[in-house]
Amino acid sequence: DTEVTQTPKHLVMGMTNKKSLKCEQHMGHRAMYWYKQKAKKPPELMFVYSYEKLSINESVPSRFSPECPNSSLLNLHLHALQPEDSALYLCASSHSQGAGETQYFGPGTRLLVL
């Protein structure tokens, strides 16, 4: 089973709202990732968690706040977003953060900020 699940599939929010994106995997993977993908562009890395600790933050604005409550779950808390934050948000996981470990992607949450 190489399934990564994400909820919700679609989300529309205003600029003053607070919402959360959720990601879950039960493959025993210890590295989890958040990517942002704009239309017709490649995914761009936002955050990496390794063994439930934040390993990488690619200079992401503080209106995006990641959280890893346990080894199976990864959240992305959203607050005071801007319209340009509208994108597909992809979660991925890999066995570890070791070099060459395959990352498996979830189906993504399509976010629209009004």
Partner 1 sequence: GQNIDQPTEMTATEGAIVQINCTYQTSGFNGLFWYQQHAGEAPTFLSYNVLDGLEEKGRFSSFLSRSKGYSYLLLKELQMKDSASYLCAVASGANNLFFGTGTRLTVIP
Q: Which residues in this chain contact partner 1 in the complex, by CB under 8 A?
A: 4, 31, 41-45, 48, 50, 55-56, 88, 90, 94, 96-108, 110
Q: By C-beta, is 1 or 16 nearer to partner 1?
A: 1
Q: How far is the CB of 43 from partner 1 (least distance, A)?
A: 5
Q: How far is the CB of 79 from partner 1 (least distance, A)?
A: 25
Q: How far is the CB of 82 from partner 1 (least distance, A)?
A: 23
The pair of structure tokens assigned to 95 is: 């066995």
Q: Are the beta carbons of 61 and 113 closer than 8 angstroms?
A: no
Cα separation, 92 vs 101, whole angstroms: 12
The residues near 47 (Cβ < 8 Å, ≥ 6 apart) are: 33, 34, 54, 56, 57, 58, 60, 64, 66, 76
Q: By C-beta, is 42 or 83 nearer to partner 1?
A: 42
Q: SS3 of 22, please?
A: strand
Q: How far is the CB of 81 from partner 1 (least distance, A)?
A: 21
Q: By C-beta, is 31 or 74 nearer to partner 1?
A: 31
